[in-house]
Each structure stands twice: as structure tokens, then as C-alpha cells.
A and B are shown apart, each in its own frame.
Chain A
Amino acid sequence: MANRVAIVGIGQTYHVNKRDDVNQQEMVGEAVRAALKDAQLSIKDIEALFFGNMETFEGIFLPDHGMAAEVGAIGKPGFKVNTGGTTGGSVVVEGFNMVASGLYDVVLVIGFEKQDCGDTTAAITAAAVPVWAKGAATGAIGEFAKQALAYMKTSGAKEEHAAMVRVKADKGACRNPYAHLKLGLKGIDEVLKSPYLVWPLRLMDFCPQSCGACVLVLASEKMAKKIHKKPVWIADYEVVHQEPFRAGIFGDPTGTETYTQHVACGKIYKRNNITNVRKQVDMAEIYEPSNWEEMNLYEHLHFCEGGEGWKLIEKGITEIEGEFPVNCSGGVIATNPIGATPVIRVAEAALQVRGDAGEHQATRDIKTAIATALGGPNWTVMFLLKRNT
């Protein structure tokens, strides 16, 4: 059995569309310092560092190249991982594995993206060789438009429900000092007036391009309690792959095939004896690039029965004051620095478990939380965090 691993330090930058005041390494350095400060450690205490970044979004393929000095990696082991949208999840997994294996006691996992350097949609369009599906590529937006259509058709959800999810996200983002888009939405009408990007996705239905970084300090059981009064344990995780370039992209467009979320959460729930998610888990920070996808994920992560995701938002269950809060931070639709995004999901879930989320702390007591990452080619990375294990 693997050694237990805890999150003992959390740091992130504020997130914004452009950071002309810093370069990539300076921006990442801000989050590294914040995480070390939270853990009350010095860089000298860190044994290894792991980076997560969607290179080429910055227009270069070695963004970690000039970063070793700024983040304190000189003379230390570590490497960068890139797994598309799930990058930040994969880098947390990597850090976890390194500590769980007993190789290291204290490591840093670093997720970052500085999207003002390049064009993300262009980079996604160029993610695969264009010998197949050339021209069908519409970046990530087109794929989520199709997903929204499929969801509308199978569940009977209306545009109003998607708008409710958007308003909920904005409420969280406005309370979160690190969030990017803080729109101050008063109601769903403002969302429904937003222009279409790719029908039926509106400008407000989709995540922004953010610059930012998020860093976690992970520690072994031996060190965790010495470092932090409130260590948050990574109780379990799962990674599931999917072939992304088949007709339906997100699996069979009929929605009848097993999605990676089904597989990932099925394994995690089984191993942890979770039979009723909303009763046995207290909240979730999920990777929802669009509001439509959030309702879809409620179902695919078994927060409710199939076809009922939109009812959770209609009843206010996933609101910050609700019975099962989802994305109190404002989520990906408010803040999306790609390589950092899933690290932020884990970080925000951990802050909720610690009770340190401040103004966007959920009303109910959070002892157990789920965090997910989504994106090709390893489609779902999922974590289960606990206050006590």
C-alpha cells in the first residue's frame, strides 16, 4: 500500500487576462512563494519540483526552460508534464506518486499558464495532425457546443438552466479574491442576452483565457503533521483515458457509451465505499469549461441520476449555501489558466476542507471533497480529499 500524502501548502496568483507586468517565471514565482508561505517552509525544504503546463499555448515548447532559478529548482530533481486539459491534474498525480512511493517527503507541484503570450484556440486547433477532422476543428468551443446540444436533447435542460449555473459561478467568483471574471451578474437575463460564439454556446457560457499559476506543497505522513496544523489528505485518485478524435469526440454522441467520468468515479466510489455521493461527500470542485458541461458532469460524476443534472441547479443544491456545493470558487468558467486549472480545483477543494476559503467558504462543514480535471488525451483525473483518513 502506498504511503499517505497530504496537501500542506497552497498558493496561487490572482488571475487575469493579461499580465504585462511579469514574465512567465516571475508569475510562477509568485505562486511558489505563496505556497511556501502557507506551508511555512523555505525552498530549501523542498526535495523535488513538478511542473504542469500546456506548452505551445505560450507559443514555445519549453516554457519551463528559464524557470529553474525563479522557482528554486536549481540542483533539484523534477520534470514537466503535459496532458492537455488535464495537465494540472496529472502534475498533482505525479507529485502524489513521488511522495506515496516514499522517494520524497516534501515536493512542490506547479501548474501555470500565461495565455497572453499566445493564442490558445489556435494551439488547440493544432493539437492533432490535420489528416483527420481538418476543418471540423473549432478549438474547444465547438466541442462543448456539441456537448451542450447533446445534453439539451437527452436531459431536456433549457438555456435558462445553463444561465443559472453561470450566475452561481459568478457569485462564487465575486467572493473569490483570486478569480478572473467577476461579472457581478444580477440574474439569468444578462446571460441569455450574451452573444453566441458557436451555437448554442454564448460568450458567457464559456471559460475565459486566464494567466495564472497555482502551487501545492505535498508531504508524506511523517512530515505533514509537522508542517501544517490542517493537512488535507489526498485519500484517492484515478486517471482514465479516452480516444478523443472519434465521431462524437466526447464518446458516442448518443450519450450511451461509458464516459471517462463514469469509469473514474465508479472506481473511486467503489474503493471508498461511497454509495450516495451527495450524502458521503460534502462538496466538489469540478472542471467545467462551460455551464452546460457542469450540468452534464453532475450526472457523469453520479451526483444525481442521468437526465437530472439541471434539477440540481434549479433546486439550488449546488449553490454555495446548498446541500452539495459545487465550484464555490467560481470554477473554470470564471478562471481558466489551463495548466494551473486542475491544480486550482484541488487547491480550492483543499481550502474548503481546511475551512480556509474565506468569503467563498461553503455554508456546510466540508470534511470530504472531490476535485476533477477534464481534457484530452487522458480525459478524466479525479481526486478524493479528506480532512481525516
Chain B
Amino acid sequence: MAEQPAKKQAKEPEYIRLKFNAPRPYHWSTGKYLGHVYAEAKENKKLIGNRCPKCKDIWLPPTPVCPKCKVDMGWDWVELPQTGSVYQYTYLVYPLWDPHYGEKWANPYPSAIILLDNGVFYRHWLEEKDKEKLKDGMRVQAVWKEDYDERGIGQQDILFFRTIKE
């Protein structure tokens, strides 16, 4: 039998209230291989990939095991050219929610797959926002964040790829 609650309490109980409003960020690890890419970007503004000892394909993001040959990649790094041609591009018309930041992501820069000059594909943003001027095959070059302290976040150490005339 449950006890009957008291009809009327003489005094309101006092609750202790603590407001918890501290940020609780996630901590994702880059790992050994991608960490090396991050370090080269931050320290030397270099774009690197790792090379399979067997098929010699270059992988970016780097991989510990070659997806094709299924062999240990070892530690063979290749510096990639920072110029290339736009292989394909698209742009957001409708902004999307980004739960990692809790906000709508409406990046104005077109997203592109860039064929770097050594034949490796790389995804990044294009500086050119004018849709009339966007073209497949346009020549582009990476533009880095110049402030050392702002670098260290991997791909976004590069601001975007800028159209170049050759």
C-alpha cells in the first residue's frame, strides 16, 4: 500500500538548482596517417598523400592499407601539386543543418572535385562564386590560411581554390 501524501505541507521544500551550461565538445582523433597530413599542412602548407608500394597509387585521405592491393602502405609520402583542373563542381542552393556545429551550413563556395596536376582527385571549395564563370576544366590553385595559429584543422587549412590564368 502506497502511503497517502500529506494533505498540506507547512513549507515549500527548498531545491538546490545548478545550471549546467558548459560546452561538451567531442574529441575526434586524426590517427597516425591523417595526423601526418594535418602536420604537413599546418607546418609547411603542403598537401601530401601516401603511396602504395605495390600499385603506386597515391591516396588522399591517406590509408594504412591499400584499398586495391590490400597491402600495408608503409610510410611513403608524396607531396601533391597545389594546382589542378576542376573536374566537377556543384553548389548548395538550400542550406543544410550541421549537427556538429548546431547551425545551418550555407557555405557560399561551390564544392568541387579537383584533378590535381599529378592525377590525384581532391575535394575542396572554389573561390569563384559567380555561376557564369564556373566551368569544368578551369585551372585553380590552393589558397592557404596564412596565419600559422589558424592552421591545424586539416583540409580547412586551405581556404579554397582560386582561379588562375596560365
Contacts and interface: CB of A to CB of B under 8 A. Distances in A.
Interface of A: 119, 121-123, 125-126, 129-139, 141-142, 145-146, 149-150, 153, 195-200, 243, 245-248, 252-254
A121 B97 CA distance: 7
Q: How large is the interface on B (under 10, 10 to 19, 20 to 34, 35 or more residues)?
A: 35 or more
Given A131-B28, A149-B89, 5 more contacts: A121-B97, A131-B154, A136-B111, A197-B94, A247-B123
A119 B95 CA distance: 13
B49 to A, nearest CB: 10
A197 B90 CA distance: 10
A253 B87 contact: yes
Q: Which 9 A-B pairs have the closest CB atoms?
A: A247-B121, A122-B97, A129-B28, A122-B99, A145-B90, A196-B93, A197-B94, A126-B99, A132-B61
B141 interface: no
A198 B28 contact: no
B88 interface: yes
Contact of A195 (B28, B93, B154): B93
B156 interface: yes
A143 to B, nearest CB: 10
Chain A interface SS verdict (over half): loop
Contacts of B91: 198-199
B39 interface: no
Contact of B100 (A121, A130, A146, A252): A130
Contacts of A133: 61, 123, 155
Chain B interface SS verdict (over half): mixed
Given A195-B93, A198-B92, A132 B34 contact: yes
A132 B88 contact: no
Nearest to A132: B61
Given A131-B28, A135-B105, A247-B122, A119 B97 contact: yes
Nearest to B107: A135
Contact of B28 (A122, A130, A247): A130
A142 B94 contact: no
A138 B89 CA distance: 13
A146 B112 CA distance: 9
Contacts of A248: 113, 121
A138 B111 contact: yes
Interface in B123-166: 123-125, 136, 153-156
A243 B99 contact: no
Contact of B88 (A119, A123, A150, A198): A150
B88 A197 contact: no
A260 B20 CA distance: 47
Contacts of A119: 97, 99
A199 B28 contact: no
B96 interface: yes
Nearest to B28: A129
B98 interface: yes
Contacts of B88: 146, 149-150, 153, 253
A249 to B, nearest CB: 8
Interface in B15-70: 28-30, 34, 38, 59-61, 67
Contacts of A125: 96-100, 105
Contacts of B87: 253-254
Contact of B61 (A145, A245, A253): A245
B30 to A, nearest CB: 5
B57 to A, nearest CB: 11
